[in-house]
Amino acid sequence: MKPLAASTTKARLTDRIGVLLVNLGTPDATDYWSMRRYLREFLSDRRVVELPRWVWWPILHGIILTTRPHRSGRRYAGIWDKERNESPLKTITRAQGELLARSIGASSAPGDGKAQDIVIDFAMRYGNPSIASGLDRLLQQNCGRILVVPLYPQYAAATTASVADKVFEILRARRWQPALRIAPPYYAEPFYIEALARSVRRGLAGLDFEPDAILLSFHGIPKSSVDKGDPYYEHCLITADLLRQALGLDEAHCVTTFQSRFGRAEWIGPATDATVKALAARGVKKLAVVMPGFAADCLETIEEVGGEIRALFLGAGGEDYAALPCLNASEEGMEVIARLVRRELQGWLTSTD
């Protein structure tokens, strides 16, 4: 049998580099069925809910997916961008991808054989655009090397590991697979802490009051996850400690809390909602909240911290309250993402300038 000739054209067409930014997720709309699809995907993830299926499935399908879509839909409707017909998280993550492409000089000319020929895309772990569609787009554009960037500063099995699970699950079914890297968490990176500090200083300077106290509110996880070895709680405490040092604040004035509790299990604490009520009861009248664990504003930052937590504080006697914006696609936010991506692409790029 005559040997097949090697195709130099096809070899060149796998020289492109793909970068896929991944955030948690968003429903397609705020109606009942859109919310139900989103919640079903999210709450069916074994990384998110670790109960045995025989225990969790009747609760999920018999109660939660029947009642919760209405409530969640109303919450999302309050922050929904009606002009774009999408959630703020999707809008911001798209903008992060577009700005990243500009900052690292992504090329639009496929197959030129240069290591800097980079394609940037974004995806959601739950909802759309899905990780599967993001990987497909990169592979269709001849990306032979792909860097997946979970936009979670602190590692948790329910977030970072879930992204990796999904990526591996998708690629497992493929005959040809690209070289793959998954960016690590960046909870203690100096460039992340410095960016947070600059963003917080700017946010505080823009207020018409001086806070008596500042909360650093992170998303919570069940305490059982920490007991099993999840490093998330420790990562959050390290971020909080480094940020306090960068801002020149002490722990008494700048308190670490955890929000977004779900279900009846014990979660890590102290809880953000209980803390703001306790602060108001002690005479704290002016409060600012920073959310260092979120790379982009979303339901939990805008509606929960910006709305529900605000109402709790003011209702308990507080007078002034501010939820400072996340890094988002700001100059500081994009510096964090760009520096992380450039570092993780070393060895694939001919230059990291």
Q: Which residues are annotated as a binding site for Fe(2+)?
A: 219, 300
Residue 47: CB atoms within 10 A of its CB come to 18
CB 276 within 8 A of CB 283: no
The whole-angstrom distance between residue 174's C-alpha and the CA centroid of its chain comes to 27
Q: Indicate the helix (H) or strand (E) that contains 279.
A: helix 272-281
Cα dihedral 267, 185, 101, 335 in deg (nearest 10): 90
- Alpha carbon 314 to chain centroid distance? 28
Return the DSSP state at 3.
Answer: P
The binding site comprises 219, 300
Q: How far apart are CA 208 and CA 116, in angstroms?
A: 46
DSSP 8-state class, residue 149:
E
Provide the phi-psi class of 283: left if phi over 0, else alpha when psi is between -120 and 50, else beta.
Answer: left
- Residues with Cβ < 8 Å from 232, sequence gap 6 or more? 154, 155, 156, 157, 221, 225, 226
